[in-house]
Structure 1
Amino acid sequence: MKFFVQFAQKVVNAASDILPFPISLSDEEGNIIGSTIPERIGTIHSPSKEVIKKNRPIVFEEERVKDMDNVLPGIAVPLNFNHKIIGVLGIIGPPDQVKPYAQLIKRYVEMQWQDTVLNQTKYMHKKTLETFAQYVLLNEQPNRERIQQYCNMFNIKFDSKYCCIVIDILDSMWLEQNVQSEEIKNKLLELIKTTYQCNENVLLTFLHAERIILLKPLLSEEDYLDFISHFEKQSNQLMSHSHLLGVKNLAVAVGNWRHSIEEIYHSYQEAERLLNYGKSLGIKPRIYSFYNWKILLEILPRYIETNFFNKLLIRLKSLTEDDHFTELAKTFLTFCDTNMNMSKAAKKLYIHRNTLIYRLQKIETITGLNIKSFDHCLLFYLVLKYYENFQTS
């Protein structure tokens, strides 16, 4: 078997440290694939086929092997895995001296083989899960049958509703130290699963070294609303507990719910946009969802349609071309951010209250807006925020 060939010499080297006799490993065809005598590797050990056929140890006395090609005195023992013979262990030396070691070394090699297969199976499971995640999250129109096959493979509910949680690891030192540590990474995944109260059969994996995704199964829209109302609290817990694993800096976002896993691409895109918005706007804590009013207010201007924004700019051209536009825009935004409180806005701007009133009146004169009108202020605020984002993007 391919895995047996890959690990044979490694096991031989390990076994030679505890055994005072040379050993070899042969595959089911009699090819020596591992040996403490390097020149024997790649040669044929014909008696191995007899050992496999009889499925029992065979002793080779010195008298018996003197006329046999590439056969040395000792004992040959069949190696079994899952009730199947996978090869032959050979211990070289006087038969009466090597026989007591036969069963011990046989069990050692079989256990090492079992661990190797188990690790390979876990590795393949992890890589296949990553492939599945990349397929459903990065394809806007994935193939339905292929998704169903993946879901059956991992026992994931195909027809369930889902939302996508994206967790970015921003701790460069942790990444550098633990990128190869499967144990630490698995502990982080288990922490995420526990924090967001998920069962075993969920799509939770590293999408790449710096990003983890979790597809949270949902029963209904009401279930999503209940989950999202606790999302910030749970994410704060995740950030707190991840410190115990050495992760000092995380950013977390969740997209809206979708009717099926086929549509999860859109939830992932929403979560990714939230992360980008949060990063560019410097919003902290780094926990982002559409349930948060502050975040909604911050990102809403970015959703203004470009053509509509251009029409508004034409209406406000006289203001944007004014020599003091930057100062006037900052004044108005600060006025809004302080809940239209003249005294607080003036204090925050380090100007006299009369100067603030003068600037606001100047805005009214240039634009025709009524600063006392909530509707006018809201529209102007969104336009200025969009303009601010547009200028810095």
Structure 2
Amino acid sequence: MILTSSLATEIVEKIGHIICYNINIMNHLGIIIASTNPKRINTYHKGAEEVIKTGKIIEITEEIAKNSQGVQEGVNLPVSFNNKIVGVVGITGNPSIVRQYGELVKSMVELMLQQTFLTEQITLERNARERFIYDLIHANFYDEEQVLLRGKIFGYDLTIPRLCIVFNVNSFNNSLKQWIKKYQADSKVFIQDLYNNIPKFINNYFPLKKQDIFLSLGNGDFIILLAVQDVKNIKDVVKQIALYCNNTIDKIKENLEIEIIVGIGSCYSSISDLSKSYNEALKAIKIGRVVMHLRTDNNLNKNNVFFYNNLGIYLLIDSLPDEAIEEFMKKYLRINQNLTNLLDPTLKETLLKFFECDLNISQTSREMYIHRNTLIYRLDKIYSLTGRDPRIFSDAVDLKIGLLIDAIRGNGQF
């Protein structure tokens, strides 16, 4: 541990106005690195050299100072860290008076050195842990045995099956801009507060256990590698996870005014598959945004938690090559442009609500607060524009797929 000028200066500034004597702090080479007398900084201190050599306190009386060139009376005390002298504290004045102040400054320096060391160790350990988790979810390793050993160092049993949960700040950059504008906040301070507060809410409302692994990625993503002890009852586990996630999302929105979307990957036993669960969770978030866009404004189902294994047709469409999509749209649906561009906003909203109400005309008209005849007119209009009648199940499937294709491919603007 090195006694730095910044640490020494901080100490001198804190107590310099309290102690009415000149204070000098020297490094392990005997150079003054902080002083209440700025002119002495970066000069050599002969008394400090003797202290470093002998390891003893050296007191210079007025008589000794008179007989020595360039020496002032005072007390010089060794500063130790882990039984090694790393610097010297000097107080100018009558030794019998300033001795107690010297001991005080020495104790303060040694205490701050210890605190700085512990802080650095905690930071190093946290950085090492975060890097380990990052490598784990990105499969940046070759030897699984080494990974298991590294996991044990951090207290993780990586033989336990896990699934990945990703909490994502929806439209992260837009959320930042809106918050900063609304509260006229400093962007750096706000971002730091954001990254401090979201993990607190996750930890408070999502009951993490000892073997659950948490990581903030710093890009609006907060990750949990959840240990699943009861794999046989995974369906019940998933239901419980959904409850915890929705509760956490609600609390974050209520307190931070930020919308969170959650993606959840499959459960895997092998550590080499944890990256697969992570990527599935990211995919679930991507598709989840599509699902959210396809909701109507008055849709009561505002669930923002999406399980990869429940996304079915969305994943199928997302995996299809562009050529197959274009052929399907033009040859089968016989639509030469994006379906969402073909329909105006009112017709889009009507079609989406009609699907949400399971093609029920009465329910749709009630929920949209429109007359039944108005709804029928709009459905007829959709039929004339697309050649597909939403009231006929097979045609409705075609239209639904067309909407999904536009949304998943980034063409749908809802």
Q: Same fold (TM over 0.5)?
A: yes
Pick aligned residue for 2:282 from 272, 281, 291: 272
Aligned residues of 1:251 and 1:286 also touching (Cα < 8 A): no
Which residue number corresponds to residue 363 of structure 2?
344
* C-alpha distance in 2 between matches for 1:214 and 1:120: 25
Q: State the shift of 1:123 in Å.
A: 2.9
* C-alpha distance in 2 between matches for 1:321 and 1:194: 48
Gaps of 5+ in 2: 296-300
Q: Deviations over 1:269-308 (max 9, x none)?
A: 2323333343453467463221796xx3784564352354
Q: State the shift of 1:251 in Å.
A: 0.8
Q: Are 1:111 and 2:131 an aligned pair?
A: no
* C-alpha distance in 2 between matches for 1:298 and 1:237: 27
Q: State the shift of 1:16 in Å.
A: 0.9
Q: CA RMSD in A?
A: 4.1
Change in 2 beyond 3 A, CA 1:265/1:355? same
Which residue number corresponds to residue 191 of structure 2?
179
Greater mean deviation of Cα atoms: 217-226 or 344-353: 344-353
Q: State the shift of 1:233 in Å.
A: 2.0
* C-alpha distance in 2 between matches for 1:51 and 1:147: 48
Letter of the 2:264 counterpart: G
Which residue number corresponds to residue 100 of structure 1?
100
Alignment of 1:266-305 (within 5 A): 266-280=276-290, 281-282=292-293, 285=302, 287-290=304-307, 296=311, 299-300=314-315, 302-303=317-318, 305=320
* C-alpha distance in 2 between matches for 1:77 and 1:14: 19
Aligned residues of 1:232 and 1:287 also touching (Cα < 8 A): no
* C-alpha distance in 1 between matches for 2:163 and 2:338: 46
Q: Are 1:218 and 2:238 an aligned pair?
A: no
**Identity, % of aligned positions:** 21
Q: Deviations over 1:185-204 (max 9, x none)?
A: 55653442343322356542
Q: Deviations over 1:15-52 (max 9, x none)?
A: 21321111122223323222222233223334334334
* C-alpha distance in 1 between matches for 2:94 and 2:43: 22
Alignment of 1:1-393 (within 5 A): 1-2=1-2, 4-66=4-66, 71-137=71-137, 139-144=138-143, 147-148=147-148, 150-169=150-169, 172=176, 173=179, 176=187, 177-180=189-192, 188-200=198-210, 202-208=212-218, 210-219=220-229, 221-222=231-232, 224-242=234-252, 246-256=255-265, 257-280=267-290, 281-282=292-293, 285=302, 287-290=304-307, 296=311, 299-300=314-315, 302-303=317-318, 305-306=320-321, 307-318=323-334, 326=343, 334-345=353-364, 348=368, 352=373, 355=377, 377-378=396-397, 381-390=400-409, 391-392=411-412
Q: Taking structure 2 as the reference length, what is the TM-score of the superposition?
A: 0.74
Q: Taking structure 1 as the reference length, what is the TM-score of the superposition?
A: 0.78
| Count of aligned residue pairs for this structure pair | 384
Aligned residues of 2:288 and 2:306 also touching (Cα < 8 A): no
* C-alpha distance in 2 between matches for 1:167 and 1:253: 5
Which residue number corresponds to residue 298 of structure 2?
none
* C-alpha distance in 1 between matches for 2:218 and 2:288: 20
Gaps of 5+ in 1: none
Q: State the shift of 1:239 in Å.
A: 3.7
Letter of the 2:35 counterpart: S
Q: Deviations over 1:35-81 (max 9, x none)?
A: 22223322333433433454442211133244656643211112233
